[in-house]
Amino acid sequence: MMREEGLSPAVIRHSCVVNVVAMEIARRCGANLDLVNAASLLHDIGRSRTHGVQHVSESVRIARERNLPEELVKCIGRHIASGFTAEEAKALGLPEGDYMPVTLEDKVVNFADNLVSDRSIKTLDQAAERMRNKGFELTATRMLAMGEEIAILCGEDIDTLLGRSRAREAAAACDKLV
């Protein structure tokens, strides 16, 4: 589906790495693995049309056009930054809606996307610092809170979990897919 929509190899590789991270977290915290798998792979499908903030609404539109389950569509639509309230979304020019992660699966996909820069997996502090350097203090604060919540559910610090896991090695395998 990603290739059919014309995603670039770089976006496909990014989505693959997000998937590796999201699935590692999802396994530990009891999330719906099928939903996390699909949403983490398809979260950026709208980047086939635009790379701005509008890629989220494009991703949702494509998912609906393909008649994907609503649960998956919502998860895809809630992956941006660390979420946007309806007011924040309106200010950014996004279609009406609430883009805040609600379900555990929303949070896992959103959080994993924030930890992956291009195709490298960042520590939680590195990801927060990257956001702060871009002027997104509120996003960084929300991401850190989400990270704490997910770590509690996983029973382990996220950096430790990802450092000890096969996530980094599996992420390297994503290069071979594109």
How far apart CA 141 and CA 16 sit, in angstroms, is 26
Residue 113 one-letter amino acid: D
pLDDT at 166 over 70: no
In a domain, 4, yes or no: no
Looking at the structure of the chain, the number of domains it has is 1
Q: What is the CATH number of the domain that holds 74?
A: 1.10.3210.10
- pLDDT tens column, 72-125: 999 999 998 888 888 888 888 888 887 899 999 999 999 999 999 877 899 999
What's the pTM value of the predicted model, to 2 decimals? 0.93
Per the CB < 8 A criterion, the answer to whether 110 and 146 are in contact is: yes
98 falls within a domain: yes
25-48 pLDDT tens trace: 999 999 999 999 999 999 999 999
> Distances from the Cα of 39 to the Cαs of 5, 129, 152, 167, in angstroms?
15, 25, 22, 18
Domain that holds residue 65: 9-177
Q: Is residue 1 part of a domain?
A: no
* 120 within some domain: yes
